[in-house]
Amino acid sequence: MIADNGVKLVLGSATAFFDGPLEKAVDFLNFAKELGFDAVDTAKIYGNNEELLGRAGAASSFTIDSKTPGSFGPEPSSKDVVIRDGQESLKKVQAESVLIFHYPYRRDLFY
């Protein structure tokens, strides 16, 4: 949803779906859609969140934004790692496209 002031509302899903039942995720997504949200934020580090969003069919109603682990992951966020994470997110959320955010950390700048 683009508010009158140009602000886009994005539903943060970390705590909403973290290992929750599928029915609860579907109900929550339906409610978010009624409120005017049109994008959902997730991340690889949010447990099984991406898979749950995929099983709930979130990509059919929402733009999916995700993030690479960055310094929370076991390896530096090289170009190949960011692309690989994006491809994994696509499969998990069952979407044709996903917007991947990458936060470069100091250790990443040297790879």
Q: How far apart are CA 18 and CA 106, in angstroms?
A: 29
pLDDT digits (tens, 9 = 90+) for 39-87: 999 988 888 889 999 999 999 999 998 888 877 778 877 788 888 888 9
Q: How far apart are CA 91 and CA 27, in angstroms?
A: 22
Overall pTM > 0.85: no
**Taking a C-beta distance cutoff of 8 angstroms, is the pair 58, 64 a contact?**
yes
pLDDT digits (tens, 9 = 90+) for 10-25: 888 777 666 678 898 8
